[in-house]
Amino acid sequence: MTFRITTTDREIAGLAVPALGSLAIDPLLTLADTAFVARLGTTDLAALGVDAAIISFAFFAFNFLAFVTTPLVAKALGRGEVARARGIVGTALLLAVALGIPVTLLVIALAPALVDLMGAQAEVAGPAIDYLRVRALATTAVLVVTAGHGTFRGHKDTRTPLLVAFGVNLLNLALDPLLIFGAGLGLEGAAWGTVVAQWLGAGWFLWLIRSRGMATRPRRLAETLPLLATLGSNGGLLMVRTGFLLFAFTFAASSAARLGAVEIAAHQLVVQLFFLSAMVADSLEIAGQAMVGEESGRGDRQALGALNRRLLGWGLAAGVVLMVAVGLGRVGLRYLASDSVVGDLAVSAAGIAALLEPIGALVFVADGIFVGMLALGSMALSTATGAITAITLMAFTPMGQSLHGIWWALGVFLAVRGLVFVVRYPASAERAVRS
């Protein structure tokens, strides 16, 4: 494989770099958002933590609106079917609204049960419920924004979503001090700031989509149902995949917690470092979704294979760079640790995480390739197989008896996922260019 700079390389970089910016904006500005709430006191910060866990789960559950819309739109455009691409976008937006309204009502009604399910203490439960009910009002907006991201990615435009994400988060950041402290709304002020910002983002995306003629309004149920079924079925497979992914990392955390406070504290530091570095590979995954989707639509198996090899080459290069960066930068975990014992263990375990970076990057890029080919069944199978294997190792072998063993088990999780991708690729690629 040659690494001479080509037009494909420039296109990959042109999509991945803005996508990386979009991925980085949310956690960075969420950190600032958390800092404002922290000034209110421990109870409010704890309530925010409880709600953040609930909201994060919901985000992963409905993120299929971006992941499925992207390849469907890209594939239609690759075939020159502009009208179909517009219909897909219109249907995705309709589904966002159709899901958003009932989910909003459910969250408002079930907020006490959801907070209780998280095990929140009595003094934390009250503010957590109030915050969650206000945040629920942004559900439909968040789903529209998610579909908007998928729409523009499908058109191979990651710069526009970056601009919208930056504007939404900047507004949220500006509203926080005004509503939390200026208006005296406290924790609920942070929730209202997010609601206003998310609805602005939804309106912004809708205006852009309409002004650029990127969507048509679904008119007949007979035309809409097949697209809804496609979005729903592929979304279900993505939810299965996400469930197994969360299960694997949650089981790893629970295994570390059973070992003791030192182990779980060190594990959390390493996990955050690993996920932060994974954003680079995630940006390549997004580029892959759009480019592979479009190439699949053209129906050229040879060209599709060449593109996928190039994407994997980028993934390998990124993984090696991340391995070096994490390997050298892991010493900084000592300064974040609560004590020297936790710090030393985190630095040691992060050495294993660094070694996993190349295979992790390759697997994450492969995720984008398989999403682009709409081979979501293979993606779900790879995650389920990897998760079950890793969990078995942690539960029934000595791997689960040390933090180092837990991280080696997560390495097995990534490796098994990669093997499943290798086995499933020929049939998935053939199906992608023929369907």
User: Does residue 160 or residue 224 have the better pLDDT?
Assistant: 160
Given a cut of 60, is residue 2 above it in pLDDT?
no
CA atoms of 141 and 204, how far apart (whole Å): 11
- Which residue is associated with the tokens 């500006």? 174
| pLDDT tens digits, 105-137 | 999 999 999 888 877 778 888 998 999 999 999
Mean of the per-residue pLDDT values of the chain: 90
Share in percent of the chain as helix, strand, coil (round to 5): 90, 0, 10
User: Does residue 60 or residue 174 have the better pLDDT?
Assistant: 174
Task: Give kind and range of the element (H or E) at residue 81.
Answer: none
SS3 assignment, position 184 = coil
CA atoms of 51 and 36, how far apart (whole Å): 16
Answer whether 234's CB lies under 8 Å from 64's CB: yes
Spans of all domains in the chain: 13-219, 233-435
Closest CA to 154 of 432, 366, 374, 376: 374
CA atoms of 305 and 433, how far apart (whole Å): 11
Q: At what angle do helices 403-434 and 301-329 cross, to 10 degrees?
A: 160
- What is the structure's pLDDT at 400? 92
Which residues have a Cβ under 8 Å from the Cβ of 172 and sit 6 or more positions away? Answer: 29, 33, 193, 194, 196, 197
CA atoms of 76 and 298, how far apart (whole Å): 9
CA atoms of 29 and 96, how far apart (whole Å): 25
From the CB of residue 20, how many other CB atoms can be counted at a distance below 10 Å?
20
∠ CA 351-353-356, nearest 5°, is: 115
CA atoms of 29 and 72, how far apart (whole Å): 31
Average pLDDT of the residues in 263-281: 86
User: Where would I find the beta strands (DSSP E) of 226-341?
Assistant: none
| pLDDT tens digits, 24-52 | 877 766 667 777 887 888 888 888 878 88
Cut 0.85: pTM above it: yes
Based on the number of CB atoms within 10 Å of its own CB, is 432 exposed (0-12), middle (13-18) or buried (19 or more)? Answer: buried
- Which residue is associated with the tokens 């709600």? 51
Task: Give buried/exposed letters for 261-272 (b at 16+ CB in 10 A, else e).
Answer: ebbbbbbbbbbe
| pLDDT tens digits, 228-261 | 888 888 888 988 998 899 889 889 988 988 888 8
Instruction: Compute the radius of gyration of the chain from its Cα atoms.
Output: 22
CA atoms of 167 and 415, how far apart (whole Å): 38
Closest CA to 364 of 393, 304, 322: 322
Question: How far, in whole angstroms, is CA 158 from its chain's centroid?
Answer: 15
